[in-house]
Chains A and B, each alone.
Chain A
Amino acid sequence: MRTDVSPNVLDELREITGAAHVLTADEDLLTYGFDGTWYERRPLAVVLPATTAQVSAIHKLATRERLAITPRALGSGLSGGAVPLAGSLILSIVRMNAILEIDETNHVAVVQPGVINADLQTAVEARKLFYPPDPSSYKQSAIGGNVAENAGGARCLKYGVTSNYVQALEVVLPDGAVFRTGGKMVKNVTGYDLRALFTGSEGTLGTITEITLRLIPKPRFSRTAMATFAQIDDAARTVTAVMAAGLIPTSIELLDNLTMQCLEEFSPAGLPLDADAILLFAVDGDHEPVLDAESAEIERIARANGAGEIRVAHSQSESDRLWAARRVIAPALARKRPHRLGEDISIPRSAIPDMIARVRVIAAKNNVMIPVFGHAGDGNLHPNILCDRRDAEEMARVREAAREIFEAAVDLGGTLSGEHGIGLLKKQFMEMDVGPDALRVMRAIKSAIDPLGIMNPGKIFPDPGGVDAFTLPGVSS
């Protein structure tokens, strides 16, 4: 792989996109060097194509020149996936940001990858349709990035993750070939499911240039409630009991005491600091009496499992207030310590009580603070290891704690990542999770589609001795 780019190649890039859309100034290389994590690497150049044909031409040029490409949307990712390693071009798809079609008969939206998730939600909801995947970054993340990372969100408990909504894709392969897979039809079992392969491929197999998303009718009503628990175990047992009772809320979010402490220090919201944990419930549907019955049933189960206070939102603004705290957890944690390693382990929901107990032991053993919050209903938890990455001794403990958390998740039948992707942060732990054979299959797929290895190098696959979250310093460390 090349680690520089010649003036002639830059000129060719400029011919493809227009000179204004190739950035090479120091300042631009600096601002395209990072994503939502703290890692920074400078790209060789940044190119912002406007069409699939331009993306294809860029891929062809990169193939000829053996230049690496890191595709990027809005750069809000939390796995370091858009950090340009190994001397890479940044290929930003944000100019491809049109909603091409909302088909109300077939219940699909056809969009370019740069469309922001929230904008799509607004557009389809105006037609009483609904696009459920709602990563916390829905206001600042693009559909292209959501698909590349197979993003989740709070509503995924009831509605599933991004891949459950990807009905067709247009992808530019590493060599520049453009292909489409899937369509507006609902059923499709013709050959391998390539939509599933490219969804969550983290930019390592190609650049996604168009997406057809399945939509569903918008539920008409929703309800929100909060329950407090003196013991986090009781909260965890409530989650499993609710699901065992056959209820499927839109969301069940858990916040532990340490998370609430950070939130209250950041911006007092009246959270019950005497509680060990709280659960936030949301239910939605088209029939209010059904929702009322469901809410009552959840309340009964919560009480039976030791819930203390239960607050029910009686209006949209009360509901918004209950959810507001959930939305500012990340900055609240960032205020407590300079940095944080935000994990997104995913476990069977029956294992939640065990997992939380293990995280507490791991935190104590390694002398690190690990607030836990997350999408308890679907078993996708966010233990966040708070740290100061400038402290090498502390970071050694943080790495150990992270490894032990991953081991615990895998041991309980879970996995490393539920919604952020592997990227840079978790790649050295891949084999422990998927095992050597699955890893061999993944490598075989990668080399079959990208034999030159030009797509987003240094991500997903472990490279012993190579960089990861702990060996790659941020530039200002």
Chain B
Amino acid sequence: MTFTAPDIPPADVFNRCVRCGLCLPTCPTYVETLVETSGPRGRIALIKAVAEARLDLTSPGFVHQMSECLDCRACEAVCPSGVEYGRLLEPARTQVQRAVAARQPWHVRMLRWFLLDRVFSSMALLRFVAGLLRVSQRLGLPSLARATGLLRVLGLEDAEKLSPRISDRFFVPRDQRWVAEGKRKATAFMHAGCVMHVAFANVDEATVRVLQKAGCDVIAPSAQGCCGAINIHAGEMERGRELAKRNIAAFERSGADVYIINAAGCGSTLKEYGNLFAEEPEWAERAAAFSARVRDVTEWLDEIGISAELGVLERTVTYQDPCHLVHAQRIAGAPRRLLARIPGLRIREMPESSLCCGSAGIYNLTQPAMAERLQKRKVANIMRVTPEIVVTANPGCAMQMAAGLRDAGADIAIKHVVEMLDEAYAAYNPSIRPEPASAASSV
């Protein structure tokens, strides 16, 4: 069984691989296993073999490798031949999912349908589920369920451990508009996110405040939805396309200058909407125009410049590169430059800061063993520089590292870059460090 249309991994992409192997030392699953098959060069060879009908699409090793790959894109960032690995893996996963869906046990199919087709397609439903989870968390039900073995029976033990603490209030896009401080530089469309707006609502709020400080009007149109990354990475291309169309249309109607995202995983998907519409040229064009206006919040702030009214934060931090920021979007300098602006902040680089922490969307659920190995490796690397705070720019990484640090008994906080900036702005005291009169006006 080979690939069948639509969503066939493009031959001109996999044939570009010259098998030099430069990707191997950058691949998290390769450096953990040291097995060629678990590396990008091996996986590309497998995809090529399936495309050429030398290997069956449903062969166990192929199905496993398409799942074991984190889609972190570290290989893509170093590839001298420019093999766009994500453009191979995501359709290959879709092919596998289509071929094996019927063979999955009923409860897996139900769970996938509920999560991917329902929850991540409707932010209202997501908020409803998150609301239930919040009640259960506040009442201590998870520990009760764990104590009684209920979670184990349901096979949800790992899922429970990793589910984030739900925010006390959600950041719900309701067509709000926040006005820029000082001279307005641009109008920013704020993508509230799925996980972000229910579990990290404080990050969304900080994003709005920091953007205002930087001179942006911020709008949060209610027509937006999930970016589709969860679906696309899970091999549900069709649903991903529907979600993409919704966001493209919402942005086109909004009149905003830039589409701001504060989650790296979503950002790379939003920037690659063009890849989804090989069979719909009109949408491909609209998607490309849309993607050209998408900016990660750190990228945007670095581009337009931020207010200098930053207070002193005497803290030691380390920065963790989210894969979908550093590899997929090639953004490594912007977040570090922003952090370096904060007076008093001590920034220590950890080893392997751009090696995946094992979060990778729903990878925790699909490949728990490898996820845990990478989590432990990341925690060890963090501990080597003994920070008070790990700063990152993606909710998945934040949850994964928080769980890992908690298990290791380490008292280290996780924060988003914009939260650090927001705290520094809050700590600003003009009487301590008087700014020249020409500086941006304060509140």
Contact = CB atoms under 8 A, between A and B. Distances in A.
Interface of A: 23, 25-28, 30-32, 34-38, 48, 74-76, 92, 94-95, 97, 114, 116, 118, 137, 139-141, 327-328, 330-331, 334-335, 338, 475-476
A358 B49 CA distance: 40
Given A30-B45, A48-B34, A327-B80, A137 B21 contact: yes
B52 A27 contact: no
A30 B52 contact: no
Contact of A25 (B16, B23, B34, B60): B60
A384 B20 CA distance: 16
B36 interface: yes
B70 to A, nearest CB: 18
Contact of A36 (B15, B20, B37): B20
Contact of A331 (B49, B61, B80): B80
Closest 8 CB pairs of A and B: A27-B61, A31-B42, A331-B81, A76-B21, A331-B80, A140-B21, A31-B37, A31-B36
Contacts of B81: 331, 334-335
Contact of A32 (B36, B60, B80): B36
Contacts of B54: 30, 475-476
Contact of B18 (A30, A114, A330): A330
A38 B45 CA distance: 11
Contacts, number: 92
Given A48-B34, A331-B81, A27 B20 contact: no
A327 B22 CA distance: 12
Contacts of B23: 140
Contacts of B35: 23, 28, 48
Given A30-B37, A36-B18, A140-B25, 17 more contacts: A23-B35, A25-B37, A26-B61, A27-B59, A27-B62, A28-B61, A30-B46, A30-B55, A31-B42, A34-B45, A94-B34, A116-B25, A137-B20, A140-B20, A330-B20, A335-B81, A476-B48
Interface in B34-84: 34-37, 41-42, 45-46, 48-49, 52, 54-55, 59-62, 65, 80-82
B350 interface: no
26 contacts: A25-B60, A26-B55, A26-B59, A26-B61, A27-B37, A27-B46, A30-B49, A31-B36, A32-B36, A34-B19, A35-B19, A36-B18, A48-B34, A48-B35, A74-B24, A76-B21, A92-B34, A137-B22, A141-B21, A328-B80, A330-B20, A331-B81, A331-B82, A334-B16, A335-B81, A476-B54
Nearest to A114: B34
B59 A140 contact: no
Contacts of B49: 30
Contact of B61 (A25, A48, A74): A25
B125 to A, nearest CB: 39
A31 B35 CA distance: 9
A465 B244 CA distance: 58
B61 A338 contact: no
Contacts of A97: 34
Nearest to A33: B45
Contacts of B52: 476
A23 B55 CA distance: 17
A76 B35 CA distance: 14
A282 to B, nearest CB: 20
A31 to B, nearest CB: 4
Contacts of B20: 36, 76, 137, 140, 330-331
A405 B323 CA distance: 46
A141 B48 CA distance: 24
Given A137-B20, A139-B22, A23 B82 contact: no
Contacts of A330: 18, 20, 80
B88 to A, nearest CB: 15
A114 B60 CA distance: 29
B40 to A, nearest CB: 11
A31 B80 contact: no
Contacts of A74: 21, 24
Contacts of A327: 80
Nearest to A331: B81
A471 B225 CA distance: 56
A36 to B, nearest CB: 6
Contacts of B19: 34-38
Contacts of A116: 25
A27 B48 CA distance: 12
| Most B CB within 10 A of own CB, among A36, A38, A92 | A36
A192 B54 CA distance: 49
B48 A331 contact: no
A141 B41 CA distance: 14
A116 B30 CA distance: 14
B45 to A, nearest CB: 5
Contacts of A141: 21
| Most A CB within 10 A of own CB, among B46, B52, B61 | B61
A462 B383 CA distance: 55
Interface string B286-311: 00000000000000000000000000
| Most A CB within 10 A of own CB, among B15, B41, B62, B80 | B80
A114 B15 CA distance: 28
Contact of B37 (A23, A137, A338, A476): A23
A475 B19 CA distance: 15
Contacts of B34: 48, 92, 94-95, 97, 114
Contacts of A95: 34
Contacts of B48: 476
Given A23-B37, A31-B46, A331-B82, A36 B21 contact: yes
Contacts of A26: 55, 59, 61
